[in-house]
Amino acid sequence: MIFRRFLNIALACGLLAAGAAQGNDEAVLGAYDAFREGDPDRLERHARALEGHRLQPWVDYWRLKLRIEDAEPADIERYLARHAGTYLGDQLRADWLRELGRREDWRGFEHELGPLVQDEPEIRCYAWRARMARGDAQAAIEARAVWTELRELPEGCQRLVGELLARGTLDEERIWKRARLQLYYGYVTAARRTLEELPAAARPDERLLGQAVTAPARLLAQAPRDLEPRAAREMLVLAMLRLARSDLDAAAQALLEGGGARLPQADREYLWARLATLAAFEHRELALDWYGLAGAAPLDDTQLGWKTRAALLAGRWQVVLDAIELMSPQQRLDLAWTYWRGRALSALGDAEGAREHYQKITGQPLYYSVLATEELGGEARIPQPYHEATEADVDEARANVELIRALELYRLGLRTEATREWMFAVRNMGDRRLLAAAELARRAAVYDRAIGTASRTDLLHDYRMRYPSPFRDMFREYAAAYGLEEAWVLGTVRQESRFIAEARSGAGATGLMQLLPHTARWVARRIGYKGYSPKRVAEVETNITLGARYLQHMLERTGHPVLASTAYNAGPNRALRWQPARALEGAIFIEAIPFDETREYVKRVMANTVHYALLLEGRSIPLKQRLGIIAGRGAAAADVPDKDVD
**Residue 416 lies in domain:** 391-461
Question: Does the structure show a pLDDT above 50 at 4?
Answer: no
Residues 502, 584, single domain; the answer is yes
Q: What's the rounded Cα separation, in Å, for the pair 471 and 469?
A: 6
Residue 501 belongs to domain with CATH number: 1.10.530.10
Same domain, 477 and 498: yes
Options 285, 496, 502, 600, the catalytic residue? 496
Q: How many domains in the chain? A: 2
Same domain, 453 and 552: no
pLDDT at 644: 45
Torsion (CA) 366, 372, 375, 377 in degrees, nearest 10: -70
Residue 178 one-letter amino acid: R
| Mean pLDDT, rounded, of the chain | 93
496 is annotated as an active-site residue? yes
Q: What are phi and psi of 512, to 5 degrees?
A: -55, -40
Overall residue count recorded for the chain in this entry = 646
Q: Quickly state the pLDDT bin for 20 (edges 50, 70, 90).
A: very low
Residue 518 lies in a domain: yes
| Contact (Cβ atoms closer than 8 angstroms) between residue 154 and residue 122 | yes
Q: What are the pLDDT digits (tens) for 75-106?
A: 999 999 999 999 999 999 999 999 999 999 99
pLDDT for the residue numbered 223: 85
Q: Is residue 415 part of a domain?
A: yes
Residue-level pLDDT at 506: 86
Task: Give the Cα separation of 240 and 247 in Å (integer).
Answer: 10
If asked whether residues 480 and 624 sit together in one domain, one would say yes
CA 8 to chain centre: 33
Using H for helix, E for strand and C for coil, what is the string for 39-100?
CHHHHHHHHHHHCCCCCHHHHHHHHHHHCHHHCCHHHHHHHHHHCCCCHHHHHHHHHHHHHH
Q: Say if residue 440 is in the same domain as residue 485.
A: no
Instruction: Tell me if 528 is assigned to some domain.
Output: yes
- State yes or no: pLDDT of 533 exceeds 80: yes
Residue that is last in its domain, among 461, 491, 509: 461
Candidates 314, 319, 269; CA nearest to 296 is: 269
- Is there a single domain that holds both residue 574 and residue 623? yes
Mapped onto helix, strand or coil, the DSSP state of residue 403 is helix
Burial 568-595 (b: 16+ CB within 10 A, else e): bbbbbbbbbebbbeeebbbbbbbbbbbb
Residue 198's H or E segment, with its range, is none
Residue 418 lies in a domain: yes
Of 178-187, 475-484, 561-570, minimum mean pLDDT range: 178-187
pLDDT attached to residue 407: 98
- Say yes or no: 511 and 599 in one domain: yes
Do 414 and 510 fall into the same domain?
Answer: no
| Residue finishing a domain among 418, 435, 461 | 461
Residue type, 201: A
Q: Are residues 480 and 582 in the same domain?
A: yes
Mean pLDDT of 621-646: 71
> What single-letter DSSP state applies at residue 510?
B
429 shares its domain with 513: no
The verdict on 406 and 515 lying in the same domain is no
- pLDDT for position 634: 67
Coil/strand/helix, residue 211:
helix
> Is it the case that residue 481 has pLDDT exceeding 90?
yes
pLDDT in tens, 278-332: 999 999 999 999 999 999 999 999 999 999 999 999 999 999 999 999 999 999 9
Give a yes or no: residue 48 inside a domain: no
Radius of gyration of the chain (CA): 28
Residue 107 lies in a domain: no
Give tens-digit pLDDT for 213-229: 999 999 999 888 888 88
Instruction: Name 584's bridge partners.
Output: 630
- Count of beta carbons in the 10 Å neighbourhood of residue 42: 15
For residues 485-493, average pLDDT: 98
Q: What are the pLDDT digits (tens) for 336-370?
A: 999 999 999 999 999 999 999 999 999 899 999 99
Report whether pLDDT(258) > 90: no
- Which CATH number fits the domain that encloses residue 456? 1.10.1240
Do 564 and 574 contact (CB within 8 A), yes or no?
no
Is residue 481 situated within a structural domain? yes
For helices 206-214 and 230-246, angle between their N-to-C axes, nearest 10 degrees: 20
Q: Is 523 exposed, middle or buried (0-12, 13-18, 19+ CB in 10 A)?
A: buried
CA distance 333 to 366: 15
559: buried, middle or exposed (CB in 10 Å: 19+, 13-18, 0-12)? middle
Which range has the worst mean pLDDT, 201-210, 454-463, 480-489?
201-210
Which among 461, 484, 512 is the end of a domain? 461
Contacts (Cβ under 8 Å, ≥6 apart) of 416: none
Say yes or no: 457 and 479 in one domain.
no
**Which residues sit opposite 521 in a β-bridge?**
none
Q: Which amino acid is at 618?
A: G
User: In 3D, which of 575, 530, 578, 531 has the Cα closest to residue 551?
Assistant: 575
